[in-house]
Amino acid sequence: MMRQREGGGRTRSLAWLSIASLVALTIASVVVGFGWLPSAQADFSAVSLWDSICRAAGVPSAWVRQGSRQDTPAVASNVILLPEMARTAAPAAVGRGATLALNCTMCHGALGMSRSDAPNLAGQYPEVIIKQMEDYKSGKRGSPIMAALSKNLSADDIKDLAAYYASLPKARTAPTTYDETLPALVRVGDPMRNIAPCISCHGGVDQKLGAPWLEGMPKNYLVQQMQLFKTGERRNDAQLQMRNVVRAMTADEIDAVATFYARKGEPAGE
């Protein structure tokens, strides 16, 4: 009896000893792995534990810098997208919008179809126009021209302009549909590089609230905007939706998807 109990005590203290050494080992490896080893590197610059974890997991530090240091202090946009922003507006709003839009025709075209490299606005989703105008106004999306033009517009003016442009027929380009002939990045993206397919947000499979209609846009505009997202100069996309997509894309890939979306083709039928 005695001997058995003694034996049990020894096993128990042995178990405690191994738990204690496991805990000590874990603490030591955390200190060494996240603190001592990284700090011994020449480019050590950990600002937080999250930073160290990303570093330990092998995330390139440029990503971490973009993801946490530049973006957390400032929100991407002040605009909260609501489903009602996407609803069709009353004819009176469209009429008021048409009058206000006389200030916009010079660059965006008489009927919202641009002849320059400014974006088309015809048939653009209303919530997109509202969000982008509010972002220009607040400076979340930088453009000296559009900042000046949106400065004196009220929230109602912007809503009416959005209603007017949404009421115009879209570019004569058929909406993208899920189909084998689409460029791979448009149709399936590239999971290995974390690139989601364009059609999962920009129409074809799904249109995410706030994702612009791209078909028939001037090619140079599409390339320029993707490059701005890539460099982080344009950063008004909530949750880095676009920045995450273009980050790993090459210049050739950007060119290819822009060529695809800029296609001028068959009537949209809408």
Closest CB 131 distance from ligand HEC, rounded Å:
5
Q: Which of 137, 202, 230, 243 binds ligand HEC (CB under 6 A)?
A: 202
Tell me whether residue 46 or residue 217 sits nearer to ligand HEC (CB atom): 217
Binding residues for ligand HEC restricted to 234-263, rule: CB under 6 A: 236-237, 241-242, 245, 257
Please count the residues of this chain forming the interface with ligand HEC, following the rule CB under 6 A. Answer: 39
Q: Confirm or reject binding of residue 122 to ligand HEC (CB under 6 A).
A: no
Q: Confirm or reject binding of residue 230 to ligand HEC (CB under 6 A).
A: no
Query: What secondary structure, in 3-state letters, does the chain show?
Result: CHHHHHHHHHHHHHHHHHHHHHHHHHHHHHHHHHHHHHHCCCCCCCCCHHHHHHHHCCCCHHHHHHHHHHCCCCCCCCCCCCHHHHCCCCHHHHHHHHHHHHHCHHHHCCCCCCCCCCCCCCCCCHHHHHHHHHHHHHCCCCCHHHHHHHCCCCHHHHHHHHHHHHHCCCCCCCCCCCCCCCCHHHHCCEHHHCECCHHHCECCCCECCCCCCCCCCCHHHHHHHHHHHHHCCCCCCHHHHHHHHHCCCCHHHHHHHHHHHCCCCCCCCC
Q: Confirm or reject binding of residue 69 to ligand HEC (CB under 6 A).
A: no
Tell me whether residue 58 or residue 83 sits nearer to ligand HEC (CB atom): 83
Q: Confirm or reject binding of residue 203 to ligand HEC (CB under 6 A).
A: no
Tell me whether residue 7 or residue 95 sits nearer to ligand HEC (CB atom): 95
Q: Which of 107, 147, 205, 256 binds ligand HEC (CB under 6 A)?
A: 107
Would you tell me which residues interact with ligand HEC (CB under 6 A)? Answer: 103-104, 106-108, 118-119, 121, 129, 131-133, 141, 143, 145-146, 149, 161, 185-186, 196, 198, 200-202, 208, 210-212, 214, 222, 225-226, 236-237, 241-242, 245, 257
